[in-house]
Amino acid sequence: MGDDSESMESGHGVVELPFTGDGRIRGDEDRSPETFAFPVIKIEEFQEPSDDTPSKSRRRSPRRSGRGTNAVSSGSSGGGSVTRRRRSSSRASSKNLKSSTDISPASMIFRNLLILEDDLRSQARGQQLLKWQFTIFLSVLMGIAAYAFCELYFSQRNIRGLFKVFLQFIIIFILVTVILFHLSGEYKRTIVIPRKFFTSTNKGIRQFNIKLVKVKSSVSDQIVDIFRWLCRTVANWNIFLMNRILPKGLIGQSALHRFWALVAIRSQPRIGAVDVKLVMNPRAFSAEVREGWEIYRDEFWAREGARRRKVVNELSPKRS
Any idea of the CA torsion for 210, 214, 220, 224, to the nearest 10 degrees? 90
Identify whether the C-beta of residue 271 lies closer than 8 Å to the C-beta of residue 304: yes
Decide if 223 contacts 262 (C-beta within 8 A).
no
Q: Where are the alpha helices (DSSP H) in 24-61?
A: 43-46
Per-residue confidence (pLDDT) for residue 23, from 0 to 100: 52
pLDDT digits (tens, 9 = 90+) for 121-137: 999 999 999 999 999 99
Measured distance CA(47)–CA(56) in Å, rounded: 16
**pLDDT given for residue 306 in this prediction:** 86
**% pLDDT > 90, the chain:** 33
Tens digits of per-residue pLDDT, 246-275? 887 777 677 888 888 888 888 888 888 888
Rounded to an integer, what distance in angstroms lies between the CA atom of residue 261 and that of residue 243?
12
Distance of CA 180 to the CA centre of its chain: 48
Asked if residue 69 has pLDDT above 70, the reply is: no
Our separate counts of H helices and E strands in the chain read 11, 4
Cα 111–112–116 angle (5° rounding)?
120
Of residues 216, 219, 238, the one with CA closest to residue 227:
219
Domain boundaries, the chain: 108-210
What is the average pLDDT value for the chain, to the nearest integer?
74
Distance CA 191, CA 131 (A): 5
Which residue type sits at 275? D
Q: Identity (one letter) of the amino acid at 33?
A: P
Selection from 58, 39, 62 nearest residue 47 by Cα: 58
Beta-bridge mates of residue 44: none
Rounded Cα distance between 229 and 221, Å, is: 12
Q: 304 CB contacts (<8 Å, ≥6 apart)?
A: 271, 272
**How far, in Å, CA of 75 to CA of 110, rounded?**
54
pLDDT of residue 153: 85
pLDDT tens column, 136-167: 999 999 999 999 998 888 877 777 788 889 99
| Confidence tier at 8 by pLDDT (50, 70, 90) | very low
Residue 106 identity (one-letter amino acid): A
Do 7 and 16 meet the contact criterion of CB atoms below 8 Å apart?
yes
Q: pTM of the prediction?
A: 0.59
Residues 6 or more apart in contact with residue 238 via CB below 8 angstroms = 256, 260
